Chain A
Amino acid sequence: MDKYRVLVVDDELLIRDLLYDFFVSEGWDIVVADGGQKACEYLRNQQFDLVLTDLKMPDMDGLALTGKIRSLYPYLPVIIMTGYPSLDSAVTALRSKVADYIVKPFNVNHLFKAAKKAVDEWRQTAGSSATH
């Protein structure tokens, strides 16, 4: 089985560093981006099993990024992380078929569990061939 490969998109360096160290320690490949534009660049040129994205970012919000991901890879799992949760964004995220909506501050073990579940389900049902 290939290593799981995750793209983390967050404008906060602290979150990027935290998630980088954690996912590497769990044996995952991880690429980090500090905003939506950079993430789109990575997504066009590399393959991922999952995108973890912040909701509020200066250049592009996480829901807009999710829309762009859906146009490139309709089934690629996306998890939204946010320090500013709202009913509207949660419902919009639900309708965009995100795999989960995680409120900051989060327990990194819970986030990892959600990430693994999303990738396992995706690999089991759609598989890489459906998205890449």
Chain B
Amino acid sequence: MKRADSIIVIDPEEFIRDLLGEYFGRLGYQVFPVADIPTALGLITSRAIPVALVDLGISPGRGMASIGQLVQVRPDLQVVVLTGCPTLDSVIGAFRSGVFDLVIKPFRLEDLRGIVERAMTRAREQAVKADLRRRVEDLEDILRRHGLTPPANERHFAEPHEAVREASE
């Protein structure tokens, strides 16, 4: 685990916040327990927290909409949904909205730990991909600014080919 790995726990129940805070804190994670969505939005906007554990009951009747708000401000956030009252609609809705996983309460902490570790791995992989995409875009920008993008740069490749062809004739 990287030292900077952090988790936000968004759950209306203080007991769950304390339990998960203590458990993941002992595992070396930096844990941010919060009881409402506005506080969570503030935190994920200002800090590079890769994983969120979110209870669907955080906004009664609007749990998925709240998760949508989190993902809207941080599309890279890996969301693990916790729910004590799962319904088919909520489960289907969760994975249609692209959450990383869904855990039905009561759960074993060991199982949740495995899921969080996999979510962290996914977050790291996505960060690497995003970084590579940015670098490619930067390079393309440099090429554009120096007039080296096709068709402008085609002569650099075509001229040597022409020379070889002429020499071989």
Chain A interface (Cβ within 8 Å of chain B)? 85-87, 90-91, 93-95, 98, 100-101, 103
Majority secondary structure of chain B interface residues (helix, strand, loop or mixed): helix
Which of B18-26, B38-46, B93-101, B140-148 touches A? Answer: B93-101
The reply to whether A91 and B104 form a contact with Cβ atoms under 8 Å apart is yes
B92 at the interface (CB under 8 A from A): yes
Residues of A within 8 A of B96 (CB): 100
Chain B interface (Cβ within 8 Å of chain A)? 86-88, 91-92, 94-96, 101-102, 104
Residues of B within 8 A of A103 (CB): 88, 92
The reply to whether B104 and A94 form a contact with Cβ atoms under 8 Å apart is no
Quick one: which of A85, A86, A87, A94 contacts B95, CB cutoff 8 A?
A: A94
Tell me the complex Cα distance, A87–B102, Å. Answer: 11
The reply to whether B102 and A91 form a contact with Cβ atoms under 8 Å apart is yes
The reply to whether B101 and A87 form a contact with Cβ atoms under 8 Å apart is no
Tell me the complex Cα distance, A101–B94, Å. Answer: 11
The reply to whether B88 and A87 form a contact with Cβ atoms under 8 Å apart is yes
Chain B's closest residue to A125 (CB) is B129
The reply to whether A85 and B104 form a contact with Cβ atoms under 8 Å apart is no
Chain B's closest residue to A93 (CB) is B95
